[in-house]
């Protein structure tokens, strides 16, 4: 098991390195320097600015200096917000995005998982059709459409919930979390239904039933572990999707999280900010994929036996 | 298509069989019908659109659906139905073209890796593994920022992301087909590898390729709409469903139809493609991919 974990960690390092390198050179390849737009800047000031941001050095030296900074956990300064470092911006945005993502994931797992399991217990009945049709709607309804529609219905027409903000008014966290979580609840429902159906037709489930275990015990103790494997494997990629979804949800509901910083940085062409957040978010995604791989391997008895040999 | 008669007959019956099964699936047929009509409308839009694409009527402004404007007008008095029809051309084009790019790269990559096997296969699939781990959504946003928001780049960027799964599926197919007698026969006849891949391996793996293609198109369309919604995809004066939804969301409080109708167009198309994909999977009897 440890060999597998360490092996996976070693695989993740080149990926992160590729991400950093590709992002760095892509951002540098962008036309126009960051201070070209401000025509009024006198040459001396511009030179001083460029020295401050190390733009006067040759490209490869900039790159190695940047790598050095990253090693010390320093993501660099922001071009657009002078005096604020990207670390500070991430520190202020990350908790918000993490909270939003956690609620969304919780909704996805609880709502999606429960309805998927219920559907698998009575396949081809209403108990299966209704949640699965809803899941299809969830998959086909993009986040950026669901969000505004929810706002229109519950925020404006019915006036039940606040339409924007995060933690200012009670209840304002509900709509963003549902908006972000809905599509994932749909995927989780489909995956857990398929996984449970597969597991419940296995011989060991028949054995468990044959020895007289009550149905709930069969499902929870014997079925769940194998049946939830596809969901666990999905969590890694889902994390990346949740982050991208948070760009949209934070924009719609005006939430001061990482996603909105990223979109704003993209609009402002704040290159150091884009570079810093890309590196940060990518590393996070790679690590999450790693984690979900490891958990999936640990949950899979066959794979685990193979690994512990 | 000039293989031996035996193969031609077998091929036909397989497709007839699949079509017969697909016809029984009402939802899949509905999806196919809806999708075909959207495609036909998109192709004919310049001739059948009720108004000119750039026709404004500032005096009229935003009006709800009426006899003159079936889906209403936007704040510049532009006909929404016309906007949605032209937007659909771009949304569908991105869906189909980017998927075609993904298809081309993925199928060739997977077929070559699976056919050659050994070290070449190991290296090629290792590259796929590494690319899989890259956070592409963020990279596409980055590409759009750095190189400007151009349509061709959007096609390529999305296509370049979506080929990975296709390559894995194709490799698996080719690996199992390779061991079969007809491929060994082709090898012993001295056919070039490229010919064997093109004539014998790709046609026999067509089922999974078609199914996965049908399911890739909606995810590509979603990606385009996502980027356009954030303002990083299609740029005015061009329009797409994602962009229309984004405009609609800004003014939904006063003019909800500007959000609802473009949203409906996109959602219905995604529905149609997903139903069709699921139906084709059952009809062609494609098992879920191994990974």
Each residue of A43-99: pLDDT tens digit? 777 677 667 666 667 777 788 888 887 777 777 777 666 667 788 888 888 888 888
Element (H, E) at B28: helix B26-48
**In b/e form, how buried is each residue of B71-104, taking b as 16+ CB within 10 angstroms?**
bbbbbebbbbbbbbbbbbbbbbebbbbbbebbbe
Q: Which CATH architecture has domain A94-268?
A: Orthogonal Bundle (1.10)
Chain centre to alpha carbon of residue A70: 22
State residue B40's pLDDT score: 92
Higher pLDDT, B219 or B62: B219
Note the pLDDT of residue A38: 53
> Alpha-carbon distance B197 to B182, whole Å?
12
Instruction: Tokens for A258, please give them.
Output: 């990482």
List, in order of start, the domains of chain B with CATH numbers: 26-288 (1.10.3720.10)
Among chain B residues, the shortest Cα distance to A146 is held by: B263
Residue B290 has pLDDT above 50, yes or no: no
Mutate which: A14, A142, A232, A267, vs B, most B CBs within 10 A: A142
Q: Is B249 on the interface with A (CB under 8 A)?
A: yes
Q: Is the pLDDT of residue B266 over 60?
A: yes
Please provide the DSSP assignment of chain A as one string. -HHHHHHHHHHHHHHHHHHHHHHHHHHHHSSS-TTSS-TT--HHHHHHHHHHTTTTS-HHHHHHHHHHHHHTT---B-SSSTT-BHHHHHHHHHHHHHHHHHHHHHHIIIIIHHHHHHHHHSTTSHHHHHHHHHHHHHHHS-HHHHHHHHIIIIIIIS--S-SS-SSSSTTTTHHHHHHHHHHHHHHHHHHHHHHHHHHHTSHHHHHHHHTT--HHHIIIIIIHHHHTHHHHHHHHHHHHHHHHHHHHHHHHTT--SHHHHHHHHHHHT-HHHHHHHHHHHHHHHHHHHHHHHHHHHHH-HHHHHHHH-
B256 touching A, CB under 8 A? yes
Residue B71 and residue B89: Cα distance in Å, rounded? Answer: 18
Report yes or no: A139 at the B interface, CB cutoff 8 Å: yes
> Is B194 an interface residue toward A (CB < 8 Å)?
no
Report the C-alpha gap between B33 and B248 in whole angstroms: 28
Task: For residue A14, name the pLDDT band (cuts at 50, 70, 90).
Answer: confident
Residue B27 CA to its chain's centroid (Å)? 19
Q: Is B7's pLDDT higher than 60?
A: no
Q: Residue B188 above 80 pLDDT?
A: yes
Candidate from A59-63, B9-13, B247-251 with smallest mean pLDDT? B9-13
Mean pLDDT of all residues in B18-38 = 86
- Range in A60-74, A114-128, B133-147 with the lowest mean pLDDT: B133-147
Which single residue is written with the structure tokens 């199992």? Answer: B176
Over residues B44-70, the pLDDT tens digits come to: 888 887 777 777 777 777 778 877 777
Rounded to a whole number of angstroms, the distance from the CA of B198 to the nearest CA of chain A is 33
SS3 B110: helix
Q: Name residues 115-174 of chain B within 8 A of A (Cβ).
A: 129-130, 133-135, 137-139, 141-147
Is A188 in contact with A109 (CB distance < 8 Å)?
A: yes
Q: What is the mean pLDDT of chain B?
A: 81
A266 or B86, which is more confident? B86
Q: How confident is the model at residue A307 (pLDDT cuts 50, 70, 90)?
A: low
Residues B146, A26: C-beta atoms closer than 8 Å = yes
Q: ipTM exceeding 0.85?
A: no
Say if residue B291's pLDDT is above 50: no
Neighboring chain A residues of B274 at a CB cutoff of 8 Å: 136, 139-140
Domain spans in chain A, listed from the N-terminal domain onward: 94-268
pLDDT band at B288; cut points 50, 70, 90 = very low
A85 φ, ψ (degrees, to nearest 5): -90, 160
The residue of B31, B123, B150, B229 whose CB has the most chain A CBs within 10 angstroms, and thus the best one to mutate to test that interface, is B229
Query: Does residue B263 sit at the A interface (CB-CB below 8 Å)?
Result: yes
CA distance B184 to chain A (A): 33
This prediction has a pTM of 0.80
What is the rounded distance in angstroms from the CA atom of residue A297 to the CA atom of residue A293?
Answer: 6
Contacts of B134 in chain A (CB under 8 A): 15, 18-19, 282
Per the model's pLDDT, the better-predicted residue between B6 and A190 turns out to be A190
Taking the C-alpha atoms of residue B222 and residue B217, their distance in angstroms, rounded to an integer, is: 9
Mean local confidence (pLDDT), A18-27: 82
Angle in degrees, CA A6, A8, A9, rounded to 5? 65
Chain B positions touching A263 (Cβ under 8 A) are 230
In the predicted model, what is the mean pLDDT of residues A185-189? 89
- Of A94, A92, A18, the closest CA to residue A246 belongs to A94
pLDDT digits (tens, 9 = 90+) for A236-267: 778 878 888 888 888 888 888 888 888 888 77
- Work out the percent of chain B whose per-residue pLDDT is above 70: 91
**Chains A, B: CB pairs < 8 Å:** 114
Q: What is the pLDDT of residue A33?
A: 56
Instruction: Tell me whether B34 touches chain A (CB under 8 Å).
Output: no
B-chain residues near A143 (CB < 8 A): 226
Given pLDDT bands bounded at 50, 70 and 90, which one contains residue B289? very low
Please measure the distance between the N-terminal and C-terminal CA atoms of chain B and give it in whole angstroms: 32
% of chain A surpassing 70 pLDDT: 89
Q: List the single best residue of B87, B123, B142, B231 to mutate versus A (max A Cβ within 10 A).
A: B142
Residue A171 has pLDDT above 80, yes or no: no
Distance of alpha carbon B245 from alpha carbon B222, whole angstroms: 12
Interface touch B142/A27, C-beta < 8 Å = yes
Q: A285 vs B222: CB contact, 8 Å cut-off?
A: no
Distances (CA, A) of A91 to A100, A168, A257, A270: 15, 19, 10, 18
Over residues B21-28, the mean pLDDT reads: 82
What's the pLDDT tens digit per position in A222-243?
A: 888 778 888 887 887 788 788 8
| Contact map slice: A 179-218 vs B, CB within 8 A | 194
pLDDT in tens, B195-212: 888 888 888 888 788 888
Highest mean pLDDT among A19-28, A292-301, B50-59: A19-28
CB distance B142–A278 less than 8 Å?
A: yes
CA distance A279 to A291: 18
Residue reference for tokens 């996070």: A284
pLDDT of residue A121: 83
Mean pLDDT, rounded, for A185-207:
85
Residue B64, Ramachandran bin (φ over 0: left; ψ between -120 and 50: alpha; else beta) = beta
Q: Cα–Cα distance between B215 and B271 in angstroms, integer? A: 11
Check residue B150 and give its pLDDT. Answer: 74
Q: B143: which chain A residues are within 8 Å (Cβ-Cβ)?
A: 26
Q: For residues B241 and B87, is the Cβ–Cβ distance under 8 A?
A: yes
When mean pLDDT is compared across A55-64, B116-125, B203-212, B229-238, the lowest value belongs to A55-64
| Residue B79 reports pLDDT greater than 70 | yes
CA distance B133 to chain A (A): 6
Inform me whether the C-beta atom of residue A170 falls under 8 Å from chain B C-beta atoms: no
Q: What is the mean pLDDT of chain A?
A: 80
For residue A52, the model assigns a pLDDT of: 67
The answer to whether the bond into B237 is cis (omega within 30° of 0) is: yes
Q: Is A262 on the interface with B (CB under 8 A)?
A: yes
Q: What is the 3-state secondary structure (H, E, C) of B218-237?
A: HHHHHHHHHHHHCCCCCCCC
Tell me if chain A has a CB within 8 Å of the CB of B267. Answer: yes
Nearest to A15 among B133, B146, B147 (CB): B133
Say whether pLDDT at B9 is over 70. no
Chain B residues with CB under 8 Å of A278 CB are 138-139, 142
Q: Is the pLDDT confidence value at A173 over 60? A: yes
């Amino acid at each position: 098991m440890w060999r597998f974990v360490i092996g996976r960690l070693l695989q993740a390092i080149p990926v992160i390195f590729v991400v950093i390198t590709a992002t760095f050179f892509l951002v540098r390849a962008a036309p126009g320097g960051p201070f070209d737009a401000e025509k009024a800047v006198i040459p001396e000031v511009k030179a001083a600015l460029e020295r401050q941001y190390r733009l006067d050095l040759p490209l490869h030296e900039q790159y190695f200096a940047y790598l050095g900074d990253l090693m010390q956990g320093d993501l660099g300064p922001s071009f657009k917000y002078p005096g604020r470092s990207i670390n500070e911006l991430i520190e202020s945005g990350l908790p918000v995005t993490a909270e939003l993502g956690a609620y969304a994931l919780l909704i996805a797992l609880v709502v999606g998982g429960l309805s998927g399991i219920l559907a698998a217990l009575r396949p081809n009945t209403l108990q299966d059709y209704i949640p699965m049709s809803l899941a299809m709607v969830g998959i086909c309804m993009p986040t950026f459409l669901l969000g505004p529609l929810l706002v229109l219905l519950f925020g404006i027409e019915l006036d039940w919930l606040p339409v924007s903000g995060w933690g200012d008014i009670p209840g304002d966290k509900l709509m963003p979390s549902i908006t972000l979580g809905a599509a994932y609840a749909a995927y989780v429902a489909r995956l857990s239904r398929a996984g449970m159906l597969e597991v419940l037709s296995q011989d060991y489930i028949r054995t468990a039933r044959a020895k007289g275990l009550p149905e709930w015990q069969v499902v929870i103790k014997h079925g769940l572990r194998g049946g939830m494997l596809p969901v666990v494997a999905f969590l890694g990629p889902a994390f990346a999707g949740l982050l991208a979804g948070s760009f949209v949800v934070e924009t719609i509901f005006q939430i001061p999280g990482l996603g909105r910083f990223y979109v704003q940085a993209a609009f402002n062409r704040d290159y150091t900010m884009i570079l810093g957040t890309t590196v940060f978010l990518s590393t996070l995604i790679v690590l999450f994929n790693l984690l979900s791989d490891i958990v999936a391997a640990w949950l899979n008895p066959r794979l685990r036996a193979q690994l512990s040999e | 298509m000039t293989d031996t008669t035996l193969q031609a007959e077998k091929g036909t019956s397989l497709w007839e069989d699949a079509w017969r099964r697909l016809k029984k699936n009402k939802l899949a047929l509905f999806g196919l019908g809806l999708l075909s009509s959207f495609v036909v409308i998109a192709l004919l839009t310049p001739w059948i659109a009720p108004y000119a694409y750039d026709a404004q009527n500032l005096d009229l402004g935003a009006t709800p659906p009426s006899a003159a404007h079936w889906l209403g007008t936007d704040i510049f008095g532009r006909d929404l139905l016309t906007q949605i029809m032209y937007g659909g051309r771009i949304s569908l084009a991105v869906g189909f073209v980017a998927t075609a790019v993904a298809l081309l790269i993925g199928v060739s990559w997977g077929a070559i890796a699976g056919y050659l096997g050994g070290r070449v296969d190991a290296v090629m699939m290792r590259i796929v593994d590494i690319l899989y781990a890259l956070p592409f959504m963020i990279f596409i946003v980055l590409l759009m920022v750095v190189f400007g928001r151009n349509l061709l780049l959007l096609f390529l960027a999305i296509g370049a992301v979506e080929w990975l799964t296709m390559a894995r599926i194709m490799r698996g197919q080719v690996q199992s087909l390779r061991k079969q007698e007809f491929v060994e026969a082709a090898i012993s006849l001295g056919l070039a590898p490229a010919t064997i891949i093109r004539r014998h391996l790709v046609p026999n793996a067509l089922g999974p390729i078609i199914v996965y293609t049908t399911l890739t198109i909606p995810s590509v369309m979603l990606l385009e709409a996502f980027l356009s919604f954030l303002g990083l995809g299609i740029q005015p004066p061009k329009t797409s469903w994602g962009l229309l939804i984004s405009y609609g969301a800004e003014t939904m409080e006063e003019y909800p139809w500007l959000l609802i109708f473009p949203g409906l167009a996109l959602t219905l198309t995604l529905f149609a493609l997903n139903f069709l994909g699921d139906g084709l999977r059952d009809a062609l009897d494609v098992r879920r991919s191994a990974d």
